[in-house]
Structure 1
């Protein structure tokens, strides 16, 4: 249905998320797509990036001669350390999460409902390996939850749904959803479109998702790589 639409790349999605990260925030970046966000946060903003495995003040991912496998994030990707960054054990890392010290966590997802329900730890496959990790702690411990995901799966099914069919990580926790086609605000069951890729209309997206959509007061902006 959207074959002619230029979808946003994962780095492009990460850049868009980074625009909504405020200076001096403490931010957790989840495994997968969210790991890219740290590459686009300006150092002068003094954002503190937290990783579940105990880095407080992680920097961008690195490659080549900069790689140090004693310095990896929760997704086992080599990262750098910002000035003033340090390491803590898992108990202190999760005390930061559970103590309400995160301004935002950025997570991936298999499904998000229009009410902000989050499903990101199990695909429901009988032969799959469930991997809740720290997602449940993050979903309820952070002051805000942002999610990054493709809007449609490989099977063509929408991942923004009226009701999640997969096991929930948290109920009514997602505030903003960043996808490869649009950015959405979720509030009280209302789905507001903040940004749309060029060539995509609100009505066509509404028809594809089979749910009512409105334009956010701050949208609709141009969403491009």
Structure 2
């Protein structure tokens, strides 16, 4: 896993758009057979084209929210990022040498598991596939299969450092890309979810900073204005 980058928020928007532009990374909802490119499947019927259901920011709605390429790129990045972080946190019960880390890891794992479920529901409402389009990518803040393999064989203080560094980088990077989505995204539901995630990251990064020394040096969030 690469360390979290510290790009200004203004530069994170083009990064998200570049991810969205890749057909292998961010396909939009499938078009209905016989419809114009980009027309969602729900927008046509046997009787001909019909109006798409109105967008909704209601998490319980069955209608897909209005969304654009930036939203697609953000959600398809956030889901695998959270999946990797949850998997790493799950190893803490066995691997940590410091019992004070266990309750922190357990609480954060619970929070990220709930967050991940919410992100998956939003992805499904957007009509996006459930495949990991970033599989094998070594991206900032992404806990990779290689990272997990190293964590499974590490012991004691070495594991503790892998755990805290990996989770801190995940929290920082996901906060940055979500802050960008909260201002540049096209869908109300996605922007709302991103804002909630940014708020959660403030508390989560503060909890990392409060971990026992020497586990959390420089564990604060992104610099002001980032």
Highest CA radius of gyration, 1 or 2?
Answer: 2
Greater strand proportion: 1
> Is TM more than 0.5 here?
no
**What TM-score results when the alignment is normalised by the length of structure 1?**
0.24
Higher relative contact order (CA 8 A, sep 6+): 2
Give the structure-2-normalised TM-score. Answer: 0.24
Larger helix share, 1 or 2: 2
